[in-house]
Amino acid sequence: SGEEPPSTDIITLTRHVLSQQFSLGVTATGDLTLLLTAIQTTSKFIATNVRRARLINLVGLAGETNVQGEEQKKLDVLSNDIMINSLRASGKTAVLVSEELEDAVIIEDNHKGNYCVVFDPLDGSSNIDAGVNIGTIFGIYRVKPGSKGTIDDVLRPGSEMVAAGYTMYGSSANMVLTTGHGVNGYTLDPSLGEFILTHPDIKIPPRGKIYSFNEGNSMYFHEPVNKYLQSIKYPASGKSPYSARYIGSMVADVHRTLLYGGIFGYPDDKKSKSGKLRMLYEAFPMAFLTEQAGGLATTGTKRILDIQPTSIHQRCPVFLGSREDVQDVQKFYQANG
Ligand code: AHM
Ligand code: MG
């Protein structure tokens, strides 16, 4: 007896996306695959730097100088820069929107492609110093027919996205992706430098046992939210109350919700009139993934993916997760209306 030889038939992310396109019979140009390759590269770069952050002084504030007297970039600045640079260099993008940049980036003609990418390069960055999971979130639109790439190509409902996903930087780097045909999860094999299919066809359980809200904001929450929370903490006799899990890092909280079920919520409240999360590059991609995994994503009263955004950094309330859990929240909003 000895060690099993390694598999010679590994399913990488690129192979998997290509095979999905073959099986759908789409005559793909390969453009989306190349764009996703660029995104994979940025995720590998960010994963490596998140891991090294403590050692090479990337934590803390931008503008600090290291021992060599060089300016150090904060991890989120670094993550933004790598994404802008590689998305532009891919030649497949026309418009980029980043949480880190006030204005959209319109790609110049000699690099222009057909896709628009909206992203939060490093979400949950308040968690970096504590070593908690953080992530990159992205959504992809195709430019409108005839458009050369303007802000109108990204001011569109999330239902028009052609792909969305996130990479979570934790004990391993995990990319979770949808191209509109279900959701798949891939784990970075650092020795190969490839994302390998590890979580095929992720489906959210129809009902979960976990709720994930920043309940410290309860005094600001509107009545339907507080009533809902009350209902899962003090259920009808015989039923068990839900467990609370809140990391405060959307990628990590949504990742757990996709895998285990339950509900994640960041509602609007008396203080934050539209909630906190950004519609384009936080709510839309996560709503798209959730629906593709069989769950629901709502503001409480409206399907998130149906909202027409009016500005690139606009915020929106979010409740997403297991279908029945999200329906329960909706009932409290209906009862209130
Ligand atoms: P950020 O983009 O400034 O990192 O904020 C977004 C993060 C999300 O990851 C997370 O869901 C949320 O903020 C947590 O907010 P709070 O600390 O108010 O609970
Ligand atoms: Mg963010």
Half-sphere exposure in the Cβ direction for 270 (13 Å, CA): 9
Q: Where does the pLDDT of residue 59 fall: very low under 50, low under 70, confident under 90, or very high at 90 and above?
A: low
136-161 residue pLDDT tens: 999 999 999 999 999 999 999 999 99
What do you get for the CA distance between the two ends of the chain, in Å? 68
Residue 2, pLDDT score? 72
135 sits in which H/E element: strand 134-142
Which residue is listed with tokens 């979400």? 123
Residues by chain with Cβ below 5 Å of ion ligand 2: 120, 123
The C-alpha atoms of residue 310 and residue 96 are separated, in whole angstroms, by 16
**Residue 222 pLDDT exceeds 90:** yes
Residue 177, pLDDT score? 98
Atom of ligand 1 nearest to the CA of 134: 9
The secondary structure of 14-25 as a DSSP string is HHHHHHHHHHHT
The C-alpha atoms of residue 135 and residue 47 are separated, in whole angstroms, by 9
79-92 residue pLDDT tens: 999 999 999 999 99
Cβ atoms within 10 Å of 270's Cβ, excluding its own: 10
Least confident of 59-63, 69-73, 139-143: 69-73
Which residue is listed with tokens 């992530």? 135
The C-alpha atoms of residue 241 and residue 284 are separated, in whole angstroms, by 30
Give the ipTM of the model, two decimals please.
0.95
Closest C-alpha among 173, 175, 163 to residue 199: 175
Residue 100: left (phi > 0), alpha (psi -120 to 50), or beta? Answer: alpha
Ligand closest to 137 (CA) is: 2
217 lines ligand 1 (CB under 6 A): no
pTM for the whole structure: 0.94
The C-alpha atoms of residue 191 and residue 311 are separated, in whole angstroms, by 42
The C-alpha atoms of residue 130 and residue 163 are separated, in whole angstroms, by 31
How far does residue 248's CA lie from ligand 1's centre (Å)? Answer: 6
Closest-CA residue, ligand 1 atom 15, reads 248
